[in-house]
Copies of this chain bind each other. A is one copy, B any other.
Amino acid sequence: MAKIQWSIAATEALKADGLRIAELDTAGTPGFPGDKKAGQELLAERAEVLSSLQERLYANGRSGDSRNVLLVLQGMDTSGKGGIVRHVIGSVDPQGVDHAAFGVPTAQEKRHHYLWRIRKALPRGGQLGVFDRSHYEDVLVVRVHNLVPEAEWEPRYDEINAFERELVDAGTTLVKVAMFVSLGEQKKRLRERLDRPDKYWKFNPSDIDERAYWPAYQEAYQAMLDRTSTDYARWHVIPADHKWYARLAVTELLIEALIQLKLDWPPAKFDVEEQKRRLAES
């Protein structure tokens, strides 16, 4: 067993309530007192725990349980959302993952309510859903760039809370994660994409344009945390300058969420002894 463990529950260490983003230490590792090596050692162990819990969730889903878990990932460019999918979600069985990424809405999506494409991508019972960006784009990029008037985006906070209430009532456990890197760390990561031909494809010139809107994004993220962290669907804030820490933290949040579901293996829906006899004769 890894020598260094979380000092408090990740859910507690990362809670958004009362947090000011402007004051966040994006290089911090709240709740985990170890360094990178200790973090990676623990991650290897916890990835197996996550995989095992996810298998139970999947097994229950296959047996008709409609509960599921939905990881909502938000964060500025280069904050490491893709790395979470690859390295955290990558440790569980792909059969049990419902992954969706939300980019700029398509022409068709724009003709619908902003929650239309979100609802279509909701995870099935027993699945671990992953939203790489989400309905929160509609109060982030949309607010920052005035893509719709304030009178239109302002009511969305309440709408989103009502929408998530509905999901929770239907059996979804939401794990909402906002990842933050510093402006300097973002520059370093973008530079790496420009230095390495195997990373060009991840780069978009508009990523640089967006840097000029950093304060407006900070404000929009703060409003999002303040207004949509509810007792049934809390936000967690992840300092993400250290990729190893962000991955460890999201793994732990998912584990804590799955433990809350108190999942047993589904019972047999058949007479086990009778089936053993039938099998022996077959």
Contact = CB atoms under 8 A, between A and B. Distances in A.
Interface in A207-230: 208, 211-212
Contact of A95 (B60, B85, B197, B265): B85
Interface string A60-77: 101100000000000000
A92 B87 CA distance: 10
A187 interface: yes
Contacts of A279: 187, 190-191, 194, 208
A171 interface: no
Contacts of A276: 191, 194
B94 A266 contact: no
A275 B205 contact: yes
A282 B54 CA distance: 42
A151 interface: no
A22 B63 CA distance: 35
A278 B205 contact: yes
Contacts of A142: none
Q: Tell me if A's interface is mostly helix, strand, loop or mixed.
A: helix
Contacts of A198: 59, 265
B94 A94 contact: yes
A268 B200 contact: yes
A105 B201 CA distance: 39
A9 interface: no
Interface in A183-198: 187, 190-191, 194, 197-198
A99 interface: yes
A169 interface: no
28 contacts: A59-B201, A82-B95, A85-B94, A85-B95, A86-B94, A89-B94, A90-B90, A90-B92, A94-B97, A95-B99, A95-B101, A190-B279, A191-B276, A191-B279, A194-B272, A194-B279, A197-B267, A197-B268, A200-B265, A200-B267, A200-B268, A201-B266, A203-B268, A203-B270, A205-B275, A208-B275, A208-B282, A211-B282
Given A90-B93, A201-B265, A205-B270, 20 more contacts: A59-B202, A63-B201, A85-B93, A86-B93, A90-B90, A94-B97, A94-B99, A97-B99, A187-B279, A187-B282, A191-B279, A194-B275, A194-B279, A197-B265, A198-B265, A200-B267, A203-B268, A203-B270, A205-B275, A208-B275
